[in-house]
Structure formats: structure tokens, C-alpha cells
Amino acid sequence: MIRAPFQARRAILKRGLLSGVGLARGIALATGIGLASGSLALGAGLVLDAVAAETSPARPPQQLPISAQWCLSGPTRCIGLEVARTMQQQSFGMQRRPRLPPLRGMWFPYSTPTPVRFWMHLTPEPLDMIFVRDGRVLMVVAEARPCMHLPCPSYGPDAPVDGVVELAGGEAARLGIQAGTPVAISPLSRPLAAAGP
């Protein structure tokens, strides 16, 4: 992985600390990884890795199998979800992905409630970020804007979450998803290949 020269790293860290990248409260890589509060040293390394990703050759977008679904009330309203289980999958998230079709998304589960901050670094299309806790929507960030170059703003509630669902920008409003909406994500018996974007 390419590392920036020391002077550039120091400037990037300073920008990150001042621009809301969220190192002291947890950080998000691309649209994915949540780190525990106070993970300043590890978070600083992740910001530098994000800078390396910005300057390295473009990696193709990640497409995971659709292995879970979230069925809302009403007919044919099940969202097929790619599940980002590993740290690597979560850190890459929706980077460089074209716009998601309706009723498609990505689920970032956490085994224990975790304070997280997500950002839109290298994510070219607006996303709805749905923060989940105890089987309900805790917070919706609607149509988070793309951010192709650092520094990027970060998003998330002040409370720990069990997971985050990302949908195409505007999907949460179209489906009536808001704070308090019940969330029951269930695994599919047979994962489906990720088709389309």
C-alpha cells in the first residue's frame, strides 16, 4: 500500500482531525468500517490508507452476493442486501459503485453495538444511510453526497448501532423508512449472485 511522505501525512492528519473525519469518535472507511471510540492511532492509519486509495489505480467496485433481505410492510417490498461481513468488505463498502437499483442495498452488521461514522469517500452516487439499533431505525441520513477527494464529512448518530443499511439516495423516503421503522433483516437460504451495479 502506498504511504504519503511524512509531511503530507501530517498535513492530511491535521485536515482529517479538523474536518470531521471523526477519528476521536470512530471513523468510516469508504462507506463501511466502524471503529470504537478513542481509536485515534488506528484511525489515523486508516485515513492515510484512504489517501493511498485516492491516488492508486482504481480498484473495481466490490459486488457481494445478496445474502439477506429486509422485508418492509406491504406487498413485494423486500430489499435484497449484500452483506459486508469482514473488515475488508466493510472498509471498501460502496466505493466506486454505480447507482443501486430500487430494493437493493448493502448491510454492515456489528456483533456488538458500536459507535460508527460513515463517509462517502470515493463513492460516486448519493446514498441513504440507515443506522439501526435494537430492531429499529435509529437515524436516517438521506442522500449523503459523493465525496471524491479528502477531506470528506462523516455521518452517524451519537449512540452505538447494531448495523447500517445503505440504499440508493432517495430510497428511504420512497419506501417510508424513518426513525422508528422496524428492522428485521433475515438471511436468505441461498445467496443470490450480485447482478447489475
Whether 13 has a pLDDT exceeding 70, the answer reads no
Half-sphere exposure of 116 (CA within 13 A, CB side): 29
- The 10s digit of each residue's pLDDT in 115-152 is 999 999 999 999 999 999 999 999 999 999 999 999 99
* Grid cell listed for 32: 463501511
Predicted model pTM? 0.74
Q: Is the dihedral of CA 150, 151, 155, 161 positive or negative?
A: positive
d(CA 159, CA 119): 17
Q: In a 10 Å sphere around its CB, with 0-12 CB exposed, 13-18 middle and 19+ buried, how is residue 187 labelled?
A: exposed
Half-sphere exposure of 131 (CA within 13 A, CB side): 20
Over residues 158-165, mean pLDDT = 98
Contacts 24+ apart (CB under 8 A), 11-18: 12/47, 12/48, 12/51, 12/150, 13/44, 13/47, 13/48, 15/150, 15/151, 16/44, 16/47, 16/150, 16/151
Ramachandran class of 22: left when φ > 0, alpha when ψ lies in -120 to 50, beta otherwise: left
User: Number of helices and strands (H, E) in the chain?
Assistant: 4, 9
* Grid cell listed for 51: 489517501
Best mean pLDDT range from 19-28, 29-38, 60-69: 60-69
* Grid cell listed for 171: 430510497
Of 105, 115, 119, 110, give the one whose Cα is nearest residue 30.
119
CA distances from residue 37 to 22, 47, 111, 165 in whole angstroms, order as listed: 9, 15, 16, 21
pLDDT at 73: 86
Angle at 110 between CA 95 and CA 56, to 5 degrees: 25
Q: Is the dihedral of CA 20, 124, 87, 112 positive or negative?
A: positive
Mean of all residue pLDDT scores within the chain: 78
